[in-house]
Amino acid sequence: MNASALPPALRTRLESGLEALALDRALAAPLLDYLELLLRWNRTYNLTAVRDPMEMVDKHLLDSLAMHPHVDAIAAAGGALADLGTGAGLPGIPLAIAKPGLRVTLVESNGKKARFMREAVRKLGLADVRVAESRIEALDEPASFDAITARALATLPLIIELGGHLLKPDGRLLAMKGVYPRDEVAALPAGWMVTESHPLRVPGLGAERHLVVIQRQPR
């Protein structure tokens, strides 16, 4: 990897953000390896509209990691998380780097993005991460995951419609949103409910962020 070629200010910014999120500063090294690979591929394959490396630290890496406390229990139990419509692997790859033991499936139908993620998983040595090149609704792994997550993918009702089948009976959707999505919550399909909502603070970003947790209603 060639993360050492990145501007030193990137490492400083990332380490400061990791500290603010109560994460080990040592995670900066593998996260920057991932960022360097993303920057290189992005020049050719247009994987993300964010192209400035400093913006990527805030909007991709730290934004993805802001939800990290909410996957601690899953990681500790060696549980499974599906990242739906993950694009270039966000938030799944940063979470996998930060939470050893978390088994992550990166679900993405775009071939060039899936190829990038396979290369990233290989180069970063992420043994507990796999790429599922598939449309979300076509992924034939019912009731296989302790949690699913999605970042800037779709409305809450649509995420449930596409990926709800992937959750175990007690599984949770961990949806990353901006302002609290009241209209989307009101439109949840029958049998699903919000069980938690957490404001998230992303270092370097002033925008409002929330993690909305949705589960099946008890029978």
Q: Quick one: which of 107, 116, 93, 173 has its CA closest to 140?
A: 107
To which H or E segment does residue 186 belong? helix 182-186
pLDDT at residue 219, as a whole number: 80
Contact (Cβ atoms closer than 8 angstroms) between residue 56 and residue 88 = no
- The torsion of the CA quartet 93, 104, 204, 29, rounded to 10 degrees, works out to -40
Measured between alpha carbons, how far is 46 from 42 in angstroms, rounded to an integer?
A: 5
When computed from its CA atoms, the radius of gyration of the chain, rounded to whole angstroms, is 17
pLDDT at residue number 2: 52
- Contact assessment for residue 192 and residue 216, using Cβ atoms and an 8 Å cutoff: yes
Given a contact cutoff of 8 angstroms between Cβ atoms, the answer to whether 172 and 147 are in contact is yes
Structural domains for the chain: 3-216 (3.40.50.150)
pLDDT along the chain (219 residues), means of 10: 72 97 97 96 86 91 97 98 96 97 97 97 98 98 97 91 98 96 97 97 90 94
Distances (CA, A) of 201 to 164, 205, 208: 27, 8, 8
For residues 14 and 57, the answer to whether their CB atoms sit within 8 Å is yes
- In the prediction, which pLDDT does 152 show? 76
d(CA 53, CA 86): 19
**DSSP 3-state of 177:** strand
Q: Residue 36: what pLDDT?
A: 95
pLDDT for res 1: 46
